[in-house]
Structure formats: C-alpha cells, structure tokens
Amino acid sequence: MRTIFLADAHLMSPDDANYRQLLRFLHSLEGELDTLYIMGDLFDFWLGFPSHPFTQYDAVLDALERLVVRGCRLVYFEGNHDFHLGPIFSQRLRAEVHSGPAIECLHGKRLYLCHGDQINREDRLYRLLRNLLRSSPVAASIRHFPPSWAEKIKVSLQKQSQAGYVMKSARWDYRKIILDFARTLQQQGCDGLVTGHFHLALREDIPGPPFAVLSLGDWMGQLTYGEMLDGELRLMTYCEQSS
C-alpha cells in the first residue's frame, strides 16, 4: 500500500488542466492507497460555509470520497487558502483535520508534517493575519456568513496572496529557511520534515543523524507530490501516461 503527500494544487475551475490532472491522479489511486496526506491549499479558496457555495469542487470531493470508501485514510493539514474546513471534510469524508503541524510515526520514521506557512518566523505580518483568521470568533462567525460573501472573501485573499508571493520569494531564500527549520527538528529527535506552502520541489538529506527533507513543490505547473515507500520519502512527478 502507498502513502501519498499532496499540496498546493490551488484548484479553481474544473476546466483547468491541473484540476483535470488531479482527478485522473486520484482515480488512479483507488484501492491502492493506505493514506493520503493533503498538506494544505488543495483549493485556491475554501472556508466551511454551511451552504457549501464551492460546487466547482464537487468532482474532487467525490474522488476523495471514493478513496475513503475503498479504505484510504484521509489526513488534511489546513493551508492558508483552505481552513475552517467544516463538516464536509470531518463528517462526509471522515478526514483527520489538523489546523497546525503534527508529528506522526510513519514506516518507523518520526515525521514532522505541516503546511509550512508557520516555518518562516520572519513573516510577522502573515503570522498575525493567520492568528486572526484561525481564531475561534472567526470560526464561529462563518456559519452566519451569507453565501455571497464567499466570492468576495476569495477575491480579496487571492489578490493579497499573489502579490505577497512574488515579493516574499524575492526577499527570502526559501530553501535556506526550510533547511534551517529542518535542522532544529533534527535536534529535537525527528527523522524528517514534509512541508508544502513554498511551491519549492525539494528532497534533501541533512548530515548527522538521518533526516530527510521533503518540500512538495505544487500541483500547478510542477505536478509534484511526495510518496513514502519502504521508509523512504520520495519526491515524485505525475506523468499522465503512467496513470
């Protein structure tokens, strides 16, 4: 059986190439997958409104449900585009939802799993915004939002995110930030780090006690994902002809 890690698809429309490719990938995993870890930002925007205004994602939800019905464990680490996931994930898909990082023992390895948006401690403005958006009052208020607010909130967050990513990637060395963070985890007794968020496809080993770093890239232009096989973390690229 297989363990797959997937992040940063930023799905928008069923007409988009990465949306169609993800559906084909998920279909190819049916009956073969032990655990699917979604490491955040699967959707370009998702909040768990009771009215479910995001019907453009129904095909993906159906594909995830088929995996779960066939025995797949679904674990979702909320990102900075999809959080307060709501009952569709916790009830219909029976997903284990994490609002922050977690440490899990997989294949005998102690792995630190996270979306990654909290790794860069210098990004203080974002960390402040994150704490506000993830607060209990905001979570409680979502059930009272009219569905028409969903599109307005989405457009506002998308504009901020797109502008911020260009600026931040020019300002900071993401590879160094990830590896420096990984070394602190290594000192704390972890065996590996799996992260999304940075859109950086990276698989490296850190010298010293064995420690594997896996940054998942994205399911946009790169179509990269992670897989754990025989205790080893691997960075993979989806090829349609192999599905």
pLDDT tens sequence across 67-90: 999 999 999 999 988 988 888 999
Task: Calculate mean pLDDT across residues 185-207.
Answer: 97
What is the average pLDDT across 17-23? 97
pLDDT in tens, 30-58: 999 999 999 999 999 888 877 788 899 99
User: Tens of pLDDT along 87-145?
Assistant: 899 999 999 999 999 999 999 999 999 999 999 988 878 777 777 777 777 777 766 66
Can you list the domains of the chain with their CATH numbers? 2-242 (3.60.21.50)
Q: What integer pLDDT is reported at residue 81 of this predicted model?
A: 87
Cα separation, 183 vs 33, in Å, equals 30
Measured CA to CA, the distance from residue 68 to residue 94 in angstroms comes to 8
Tell me what the pLDDT averaged over the chain comes to. Answer: 89
Taking the model in full, what pTM does it have? 0.88
